[in-house]
Amino acid sequence: MRTRLIRGVMASVALAGVIVSYETTVPEDMKYRPSRMPDRVILTWAGNPATSQAVTWRTELGVTPAVAEIAESEDGPGFPKKARTVNAASEKLDTDAGPALYHSVRFTDLKPATVYAYRVGDGWNWSEWNQFRTASDKAEPLEFVYVGDAQNDLFSMWSRLIRQAYSDAPKLRFIVHAGDLINRNTIDHEWGQWHQAAGWINRSVPSFPSPGNHEYGSKKLSVNWRPQFTLPENGVAGLEETNYYVDIQGVRMVSLNSNIMREEQAQWLDKLLSNNPNRWTVLAFHHPILSAAKGRDNKELRELWQPVIDKHRVDIVLTGHDHTYARSNVMSGVNAQSKAGTVYVVSVSGPKMYALQKQDWMEKSGQQMQLFQVVRIAGDRLHYESRTARGEVFDSFDLVKKAGKRNKLVADHRRTRV
């Protein structure tokens, strides 16, 4: 008896009494084809996080009706009897992998600080019951995770990072993605890998994504972006669901699109932050104001946006793009007399790495590490930790608000690895 092995997926056939074992290679796009079962289920916000929640998912064509059910969660299994049904808005999306339907629902009139259970489907084919907690409608302690570029080898290499992040911060309220979630904006299976890597985390914890340059091609946003994310449309006209803001528990979270229409966003941001009732302000976007990799400098962006950041004393700016790690002390950019006290961070979560170029502005820097950041805000103190894919603390500090003065940064040298 002879056995033959061909690289790919194991299988076997009998030919004239000879068993032939072989492997067939399944094309990437075939692995992520839609079906009648909901997949790529993800939570985002399109309104007030205390009273609303958005959910988006995908199926093959012809799946009707598309609906979601939601109920206040209970300790026992009886909550589905109290669930209400919400009809989804559906749109067809054509990609390189073929057509699919994307469905979105906005749950409204929810109670603040309450755990809800929901599922999505067509009335017959359902996802599992997932849970999320609405935000408080007050300025209460808040925890979130921030990651830079995932981009490459998403399922094989990014999975461990995002799962470790959840393990280290299980009470997080949302995840900030600072651009380049994928590598090629026209390749649908890369989005499939991104969703698969995070898995049920996306179905339980809202995402707060900003687009990077790899979400763009010829200045055109990936066709997947808007169908798969249901986000606020309160930013600059023409940048819907890429430039937006959310107020949550005393923090104003702002997503900027650093790829296009930068001047318009500077004007928008100035106006937005001129009327900001929140104690803390966090900006997230892709291209760094202060670059960390060799041969990179975003001078035009810095000249447009840093004056606004200084003027409104933004607390922390979270970016990606440079595939290294760098973090400033409290800084003021264009105005030496400013009391801005802003911390600038560049970080990377995926396996693609660049060479670091050390500069004077860097209080802490590193390279060749997959990192995630955990941010906890309570009262006048922001606690920040950058952790490796193994969960080790690489960088840590507290940012403390001082009345009438710039923020004070207190480094935690005991927990920071050199």
The distance in angstroms from the start CA to the end CA of the chain is 60
C-alpha to C-alpha distance for 41 and 226, rounded to whole angstroms: 14
Across the beta sheet with 84-87, the strand order is 84-87, 67-72, 115-121, 130-133
C-alpha to C-alpha distance for 312 and 315, rounded to whole angstroms: 9
Answer whether 0.95 is exceeded by the pTM: no
Identify the CA nearest to 327 among candidates 304, 376, 293, 361: 361
pLDDT along the chain (418 residues), means of 10: 39 47 61 96 98 98 97 98 98 96 98 98 97 98 98 98 97 97 97 98 98 92 98 98 98 98 98 97 97 92 96 97 96 61 96 95 96 98 98 98 90 56
Q: Looking at residue 308, what is its pLDDT?
A: 97
Pairing of strands 67-72, 53-59: unpaired
Q: Looking at residue 8, what is its pLDDT?
A: 44
C-alpha to C-alpha distance for 204 and 223, rounded to whole angstroms: 24
C-alpha to C-alpha distance for 383 and 388, rounded to whole angstroms: 17
Q: Looking at residue 27, what is its pLDDT?
A: 72
DSSP notation for 128-197: PPEEEEPPPSS---EEEEEE-B--SSIIIIIHHHHHHHHHH-TT---EEEES-SSS-TT-HHHHHHHHHH
Q: Looking at residue 17, what is its pLDDT?
A: 53
For residues 223, 229, 232, 238, the Cα torsion angle rounded to the nearest 10 degrees is: -10
Note whether 326 and 364 are within 8 A (CB). Answer: yes
**CA-based torsion, 181, 185, 188, 190: positive or negative:** negative
C-alpha to C-alpha distance for 56 and 70, rounded to whole angstroms: 14
Q: Looking at residue 10, what is its pLDDT?
A: 43
Torsions phi, psi of 349, nearest 5?
-110, -20
Domain limits, the chain = 1-27, 39-133, 142-415
C-alpha to C-alpha distance for 31 and 21, rounded to whole angstroms: 22
C-alpha to C-alpha distance for 267 and 35, rounded to whole angstroms: 44
Given the structure tokens 């084919």, which residue do they identify?
125
Give 220: exposed, middle or buried? Use CB within 10 Å, 0-12, 13-18, 19+: exposed
Instruction: Give CATH superfamily name and number for 142-415.
Output: Metallo-dependent phosphatases (3.60.21.10)
Instruction: Give CATH superfamily name and number for 39-133.
Output: Purple acid phosphatase-like, N-terminal (2.60.40.380)
